[in-house]
Amino acid sequence: MRAKLILPTTLFAAVIALSGCMASDIERAGIGALGGGVTAAALNGNVGTGILIGAAGGALCDDVNLC
């Protein structure tokens, strides 16, 4: 099970890191939504929830100095 989490976690972290290169909150939210959806699909989770969480994380990452 742990090996299954390494790739999606790495992908999600890379997407969040790249979202810092975007200029606006909307662009970062889009990248975060993509990463959240892909991660949720890879983990057989709810893709809609992954998209929402990823979009929120992408949009807010600059507010908490994460990206």
Domain coordinates of the chain in residue numbers? 2-60
Question: Bigger pLDDT: 43 or 52?
Answer: 52
SS3 for 15?
helix
Question: Cβ distance 25 to 59 under 8 Å?
Answer: yes
Which amino acid appears at position 59 of this protein? A
Q: What is the pLDDT of residues 12-45, one digit of tens each?
A: 777 666 655 667 888 888 888 988 888 888 888 8
pTM of the model: 0.67
